[in-house]
Amino acid sequence: MEIKICSKCGKGLPKSNDFFYNDYKGNLRGPCKECVKSINQARKKRTNYKSDRKWAHNNKEYYKKYMNNLNNKIREKLGIGYVGLHKWVRNHKPKPSRCSACGEKGYLELHCIDHDYTRVLTKWIYVCKKCHSKANAVIKRTYDP
């Protein structure tokens, strides 16, 4: 039986799926499952923002009023809705490889800087989920339906 040493705690454990997670290429990851769980728990404790989905789920009526109001404002101004405007911006503004706010690589979302929702491309940036949630949390807290 082959042994793999955990990169976090240094324990020698058998090479198997019982002790190590596979990465996307099928190789065993460096830290053991116990260390990965403790890392994830620590990450959850230190993050103080809530994801948009969780927030929307807990505040369904408020979120519905917020999105309807926003969609109506955009439709009056531009003749297209929220989704249509985002599609237009995605087609006209190239996506960078890193977040415009923090510089992290990964999945990027479109964010309107001043929440004015116009077709001015300089008012739109691509940001990571974390930065987008932080920016939108401020707006949602100040919205009064």
**0.75 exceeded by pTM:** no
- Choose among 115, 129, 136, 125: nearest CA to 90: 125
Say which amino acid occupies 140: K
Beta-carbon count within 10 A of 15 CB: 12
pLDDT at 4: 82
pLDDT at 2: 81
Contact (CB, 8 A) for 79 and 90:
no
Distance CA 24, CA 64 (A): 37
In SS3 terms, 102-126 reads as: CCCECCEEEEECCCCCCCCHHHEEE
Domain assignments of the chain as residue spans, ordered by start: 3-46, 52-142
Judged on CB neighbours under 10 Å (0-12, 13-18, 19+), 70 is middle
- How high is the mean pLDDT in each 10-residue block of the chain (145 residues)? 81 75 71 83 64 70 83 86 90 92 90 87 91 76 53
